[in-house]
Chains A and B, each alone.
Chain A
Amino acid sequence: MVDIADRKPASSAAEPKERRPLPRWVITCISIACLLGLWEIFGRQVNPVFGSYPSAIAVAFWELARTGELWSALYESLRPFFAGYLLAVLLGVPIGLIIGRFRTAEAAFGIYVTAGYAMPLVALVPLLVLWMGLGFAVKASIVFLMALFPICINTWLGVIAVPKTLIEVGKSFVAPNHVILRRIVLPATLPYIMAGVRLAVGRAVVAMVIAEFFTTISGLGAIIINSANNFDTATMFVPIIVLMVMAIGLNSLIGYVERKVAPWQAEIAGRERE
């Protein structure tokens, strides 16, 4: 008895206090701070033509922002970007659903989607320019073509992964095909669709810059090319970083939308991770 009474407080004192894990955003911020710090230290030792470092890029950013050059370039870039990207989502999802759901459609068109994903689009840009000129249309088309296929393929794979029994639920209640597609296949495929929509952001950003390099030199791509030609490496990094930050923003926006339209998914999928 005495033994136990003695030990009890000791053991409870030894028990580790429940520690709240660091919030994810804190970890991310620490990671960014470390990266910027290291970049700053090592970047300063390099000839400014061959490399740059965060503080110099920040100064260049301020300069571009102050003159308004950055904002007008950003606006010019984002118009074809969103036009092409949204069209890719709007068309890619239904195409993927149909190819995944109907074996005739899959046999007839699946091969083009697979091939289209690997299409060397840069090589086709000159041809697209011949068709559409150098303006908005050709840029939006390049973004569209790059973003369409990952969305299509992911949706398609998602449809294939829908449990057969869920479709049988629809059948057993005599749901017509289009209702099964819309009310069972579509929601069941949403996580895959959202993954495709996210992957497409990256591809669309790349496509946008390609478009600005190879059609009319304009927007953020123009800032990159002009500053590179002037050996102004710090300024060249500004649009690159702006684009990456924008991609991160879009990704979290998509994540937010996903949690809104598919709340059950976040509830089912465990976030239990080490």
Chain B
Amino acid sequence: MGEVTFLDVSKRFALRVDGVLHHVQALDRVSFTVNDGEIVALIGPSGCGKTTALRVAMGLDFSTSGRVTVDGREVRGCGHDRGMVFQHAELLPWLSALQNVMFGLEMKGMRGGELRDTAEKYLDLVGLKESQNRRPHQLSGGMKQRVGIARALAIDPSVLLMDEPFGALDAQTRESLQAELLEIQARTGKTVIFVTHDLDEAVLIADRIIVMKGGRVHEIMTVPIARPRPDLGVVRGTAEFAETRYKVWRALHDQDTVVH
């Protein structure tokens, strides 16, 4: 329930910049496995393919070769077994917070009282029960992303895919959402794959960190900090945090791959 495997996944696409055709190798034989209930961070310089990997896992992009499986089933498109949290929440601006969560559920075929109850339950989970009738523009950036998370969680996927979910938020909001994400994950036991460019975030939240460069998996690191991690402030003070953070930093700055 929630195991994601990348098997030799490659993706090439053509990109026209100022009239010149470039071939971009977004993913180059990427292989890794994410276990059930695990939190994995994809980190790397921009253009390293981390977001493409996530989109291929979601079924929004397709690989040129290789395959991604979720619980043994090959990904051939979007599915309710995966929930996507977008970088800028991407709530539908004409719907209230509650209706946005309901939208995902309706697409799963849920109707009637159960629909509303479930949506309310998940908004409550992210602490937004009071604001359920607000439209997105009446919500702060952090609240929007909470709704985005609730919308993805509500359909009860086995895997949560998050594309730089906290990248656009201010530092305080980001920290509280990181803690909340860990808490929600502990409660729901979902597998989480998230893309980030924030070293601290990767080490604080993830069980393992996949460092990507130039479309390849550069290194996979295990974070030697046990979960649950109820107090991220304490985690920040540990030697393991500093050590892992440094290791990831070194991996990102290795000179064997030229980073543009």
A: which residues have CB within 8 A of B? Answer: 163, 165-166, 168-175, 179, 183-184, 187-188, 262, 264, 267-268
Q: Are A171 and B60 CB-contacts (below 8 A) given A166-B90, A183-B103? A: yes
* CB within 8 Å: A-B pair count: 56
Question: Considering only CB atoms, which chain B residue lies closest to A183 in the complex?
Answer: B103
Contact of B103 among A163, A171, A173, A267 (CB under 8 A): A173
In the complex the two chains form, what is the Cα distance from A188 to B93 in whole Å?
Answer: 8
Complex interface: stretch among B18-26, B36-44, B76-84, B226-234: B76-84
Q: Are A174 and B79 CB-contacts (below 8 A) given A264-B93, A264-B137, A268-B137? A: yes
Closest 9 CB pairs of A and B: A173-B107, A172-B84, A173-B104, A187-B94, A264-B94, A165-B90, A175-B107, A172-B78, A169-B90
The answer to the question of B155 belonging to the interface, with a C-beta cut-off of 8 Å to chain A, is yes
Question: Considering only CB atoms, which chain B residue lies closest to A171 in the complex?
Answer: B78
- Main DSSP-derived SS at the A contact region: helix
In the complex the two chains form, what is the Cα distance from A166 to B88 in whole Å?
Answer: 11
Given contacts A166-B92, A188-B93, 17 further A-B contacts (CB under 8 A): A165-B90, A168-B84, A168-B86, A169-B92, A171-B59, A172-B82, A173-B80, A173-B104, A173-B108, A174-B107, A187-B94, A264-B93, A264-B137, A267-B135, A267-B137, A268-B93, A268-B137
The answer to the question of B195 belonging to the interface, with a C-beta cut-off of 8 Å to chain A, is no
Question: Considering only CB atoms, which chain B residue lies closest to A165 in the complex?
Answer: B90
Question: Considering only CB atoms, which chain A residue lies closest to B154 in the complex?
Answer: A173
Q: Is A184 within 8 A of B92, CB to CB?
A: yes
Q: Is B86 within 8 A of A165, CB to CB?
A: yes
Q: Please give, as numbers and ranges, the residues of chain A lying within 8 Å of B155 by CB-CB distance.
A: 173
B245 to chain A, nearest CB (A): 31
In the complex the two chains form, what is the Cα distance from A16 to B83 in whole Å?
Answer: 55
Q: Is A174 within 8 A of B78, CB to CB?
A: yes
24 contacts between A and B (CB under 8 A): A165-B90, A168-B90, A169-B90, A169-B92, A171-B59, A172-B58, A172-B83, A173-B103, A173-B104, A174-B77, A174-B78, A174-B79, A174-B80, A174-B107, A174-B108, A175-B107, A179-B107, A183-B92, A183-B103, A187-B92, A188-B93, A188-B94, A267-B138, A268-B93
- Main DSSP-derived SS at the B contact region: loop
Q: Please give, as numbers and ranges, the residues of chain B lying within 8 Å of A168 by CB-CB distance.
A: 60, 84, 86, 90
Q: What 1/0 mask marks residues of chain B from 143 to 178 whose CB sits below 8 Å from any chain A CB?
A: 000000000000100000000000000000000000
Give the size range of B's interface with the partner.
20 to 34
B237 to chain A, nearest CB (A): 38
Q: What 1/0 mask marks residues of chain B from 98 to 113 whose CB sits below 8 Å from any chain A CB?
A: 0000011001100000
B26 to chain A, nearest CB (A): 17
Q: Please give, as numbers and ranges, the residues of chain A lying within 8 Å of B138 by CB-CB distance.
A: 267
Q: Is A172 within 8 A of B60, CB to CB?
A: yes
Q: What 1/0 mask marks residues of chain B from 107 to 127 whose CB sits below 8 Å from any chain A CB?
A: 110000000000000000000
Interface centre among A170, A171, A174 (most CB of B within 10 A): A174
